[in-house]
Structures are given as structure tokens and as C-alpha cells.
Amino acid sequence: MQQHEIVVIGAGPAGAVASTLLKRKGHNVLMLERQQFPRFSIGESLLAHCLEFVEEAGMMEAVHAAGFQVKNGAAFACGDLYTDFDFRDKFTPGPGTTFQVERAKFDQVLANEAERQGVEVRYRQEVVAARFDGTQPELDVRDAQGNEYTVQSHFVLDASGYGRVLARLCDLEKPSSLPPRKAIFTHIEDRIIDPGFDREKILITVHPQQRGIWYWLIPFSGGRCSIGVVGSETLFGDQSGDLMQTLRTLIDAAPNLKRLLPNAIWDTPANTIGGYSANVKSLYGPGYALLGNAAEFLDPVFSSGVTIALRSSKLAADAVHRQLGGETVNWQADFTDPLMIGVETFRAYVHGWYDGVFQDVVFYENAQPDVRRMISSILAGYAWDTSNPFVADPQRRLRVLGELCKPTALTV
Ligand code: FAD
């Protein structure tokens, strides 16, 4: 039986930032990671707001030094329509730029920073069982050689992402409010020569005929890009053939992408991920809390995953610190409720994206500058700023704005 004050499951962004924030508050933290880093992860376009937590964890210098592609906004295209939002021109104060990152490298930078600041990081250690019914939480861990040991602690943070360790082990799984969708993606050497192409923005392209299908193009530093397409299984149609061929056929259906990528080198096998939207019955229980994707994941369209993950890390780290210091923490009021403000904001815009209303808003050509600034804030990740009317009342505001932005040149 090993003893640690706090155990964090998973060394992705949520785990690395939560464990470092707690270490900086003077706690003893063990972070257990199933894989050996560096390892691939999807989720490469960051939002500006998430850098506030990277900064608070003392990791900004290392992130800057890694030389990632700077990102200052999001561009949207559909047929001949094009618009972009600059995160520096936004309603909410805070950073206006961020990065587009190869996650293998980014996650390694954060985990190394956690270790440098005193977190004990153990790779190739898989949490296989959890007990929260005794006086202290206990986790059973399987090491790289297949040996098992038990760790006892005062608190467990589950940051296991798509591993969803405690959701599975503690019967917390709950279906998502969003229908299942899937993504096919790869990395390319893009060789884009179009002088109008803005490498400092993610490019989101809507399929010209089917608005439920959209593409991401995320430029990295060094002339490479992440490219992917998202849609429901039925919209994608028959995929019995080669995955790369399916991806390239879908990309060829978007004229702006076809125009941008005539010289691209498709040197990396395509990959696919599906059914990623997930939810849980509760974000906390006696002796544990769930962070990032280990709790709820909505949808990739607004690149909100890492930002929600880091916001949850910050809220949980503060609450755990207070609890271990002897204070009574109301996990619903101090953790779940504040986190859900931003999650519900993004949820409203994700639903609006797929039912077409938010697409109408994004492509509307006569939008007032102050309204665009409020939308830009949300796209930059400031989805918790309730002084922004589009955060305070997202569904109603979006419906009203959607009416104003109709009719559209797009065909459903
Ligand atoms: P992860 O980064 O998944 O880290 C979890 C870690 O836990 C992993 O390293 C895993 O190995 C480890 N683990 C799992 N099980 C165990 C176990 N039993 N024991 C020990 N360790 C374990 N987000 C964005 O911000 N921007 C984007 O552009 C974006 N694009 C996306 C595109 C798609 C198609 C999808 C599906 C998602 C996208 N996301 C994006 C979301 C993003 O991938 C996640 O939100 C983000 O990675 C969550 O971080 P995390 O730290 O919670 O989990």
C-alpha cells in the first residue's frame, strides 16, 4: 500500500495543470499515466482563455519556448463565403492569442513542467480499479510489467480523458445530449502557397451541400497541418473503402480546401474517432472529482475541449486545496455549477451550429461590430463571462440573432 496526498489519473492537459496547481499550493501529488509520452492526442487548436491556466501553472515560458504556431482567431468558409473572427478583437478582457499545437509535444511539455515543479509523474501506470467506500480513496494500479499495487490518498482527480476511468468504474456514465458523430483526420505537409491563407487561424469549412459535415484545417509551425472532417455516420455514407481515400474524397468536395491543397504531401495514415461525445451523472463524489474529458465532452467544432478541461482543473484544484486545509467544500456550488456556465454556453452554440442557426450568424455579412466582438469572445474561450449577453442567455440570444441573420445564401 502506497500513500500519497493527492493522486491524479492521466497526464493530459487537465491532469498536468491540476497536479501542478496543487503542487504549487504545497501539496504532495502523484500523477499516473497509462501511456509512455510523447503520445498522439487529438485536439490541436487551443483557445485564448486556456492560456490563463497554463500561465497560473507556471508553464507559459516552456510553452513559448516550444515554438508552436501562434493562433489569433478562427476563420469559417462555405462555398464562396468566408469570414474570420480575430480573438484580439473581443468583448472579454484576457489573452487574445494562443497556439495550434501538435498534442504529442504540447502534452509532453506540460507533463515535463509538472515534473519539474515537483509533481511525481509515473508513465505506463494504468489505474484499473477504484474504491471510495473506506476512510480513504484507494486506486489499484497496473505497472508496465503487469504488476499491481494499491495507492491510498486523501483525494483523487480523474483526468483520464477518453479513458473515462471513474465514469466506468463508479457507474457514472450518462449518454450525451448530442447525437454520435465521427471524425476522420490526418497530418499533412500542406505546401500551401496561397498568400491569402492565414496560418494564424484555424479554418473551419462547411461542406457546400451538407451543413452537418464540416472540416478543420489547423496549421502547425514548420509547414504542416492537421486536417479532418466531422459528420454523422449516415452523412459520411459508405466507408467500406480506404480511410485516407474517404478523407480525400470528402476534402475534394470542399472547393476552397481543394484549391488550397493541390501540392500537399499526404504522408501520414488517416485515423478515425467516433462516439466521442459523452457525459456523466455527477462530476464529483466522496473523495474524487472528474476533470476535462473524463467528465463531459461536447463536440470538437469550437475547439473548446482543452479550455473546458483546464477550467475544470483550476476549479477542482482550488476546491481540493480548501478541503484538505480543513474547510467544508460544497462541490456542487464551488465546482460543478461554475464549470457548467461555460459548458452550457458551448452546448448552446454546438446545437446551433448543427441546426444551422449559428452558421447563419457566423456568415452574416452585416453583423454589428459589438455583436461580433461578443461572439469572438466565446470563440476565444471566454464562455464563462456572464457580462457577455451571449453567455448570460445563450439559447435565447442565439435564437433572436439567428432570426436576424436569415435568410442565408446557404442551402440546407
Ligand atoms: P486527454 O488529453 O485525453 O488525457 C487523458 C490521459 O489519461 C491520456 O494521456 C491517457 O493515456 C490517460 N489515461 C486514460 N486512462 C488511464 C488509466 N486507466 N490510467 C492512467 N492514465 C489513463 N479540443 C481542443 O481544445 N481543440 C481542438 O481543436 C479539439 N479538436 C478535437 C477534435 C476531435 C475530433 C475530438 C474528438 C476532440 C477534439 N478536442 C479538441 C477535444 C480534446 O481532444 C480533449 O478535450 C482534450 O484532449 C481533453 O484533455 P484531457 O486532459 O481531459 O484528456
Q: How far apart are CA 324 and CA 334, in angstroms?
A: 15
CATH node for 2-70+97-175+277-342: 3.50.50.60
Q: In what order do the strands lie in the sheet with 126-131?
A: 2-3, 148-152, 138-142, 126-131
- Which residues' Cβ are closer than 6 Å to ligand 1? 9-15, 32-35, 41-46, 126-127, 159-163, 165, 183, 273, 276, 292-294, 297, 300, 303, 305-307, 309
Determine the distance separating the centroid of ligand 1 and the alpha carbon of 177, expressed in angstroms. Answer: 19
Residue 63, φ and ψ in degrees, nearest 5:
-65, -45
> What's the rounded Cα separation, in Å, for the pair 91 and 87?
9
pLDDT tens per residue, range 373-382: 999 999 999 9
pTM greater than 0.95: yes
Q: Which residue has the cell 457514472?
A: 172
Of the candidates 54, 48, 55, the one whose C-alpha atom is nearest the C-alpha of residue 377 is 48
pLDDT of residue 239: 63
In DSSP terms, which residues pair with 143 in a beta bridge? none
Cβ proximity of 21 and 314 under 8 Å: yes
Whether the bond into 195 is cis, omega within 30 of 0: no
The predicted pLDDT at position 233 comes to 78
For residue 157 the three cell numbers come to: 482527480
Backbone angles phi, psi at 26, to 5 degrees: 100, 10
pLDDT per residue rounded down to tens, the chain (412 residues)? 899 999 999 999 999 999 999 999 999 999 999 999 999 999 999 999 999 999 999 999 999 999 999 999 999 999 999 999 999 999 999 999 999 999 999 999 999 999 999 999 999 999 999 999 989 999 999 999 999 999 999 999 999 999 999 999 999 999 998 899 999 999 999 999 999 999 999 999 999 999 999 999 999 999 999 999 999 977 676 666 789 999 999 999 999 999 999 999 999 999 999 989 899 999 999 999 999 999 999 999 999 999 999 999 999 999 999 999 999 999 999 999 999 999 999 999 999 999 999 999 999 988 899 999 999 999 999 999 999 999 999 999 999 999 999 865 554 4
- Domain 182-274 -> CATH class: alpha beta
What distance in Å separates the CA atoms of residue 163 and residue 253, rounded to the nearest whole number?
Answer: 34
Neighbours of 387 (CB within 10 A): 11
Cβ-Cβ contacts under 8 Å for 262 (sequence gap 6 or more)? none
Q: Measured in angstroms, how far is the CA atom of residue 159 from the centroid of ligand 1?
A: 9
Q: How many CB atoms lie within 10 A of CB 365?
A: 8
Residue nearest ligand 1's atom 35 by CA: 300
Domain range list for the chain: 2-70+97-175+277-342, 182-274, 356-411
Please say whether the beta carbons of 259 and 253 come within 8 A. no
Question: Which atom belonging to ligand 1 lies closest to the Cα atom of 160?
Answer: 7
- How high is the pLDDT of residue 412? 44
Q: What is the CA radius of gyration of the chain?
A: 21
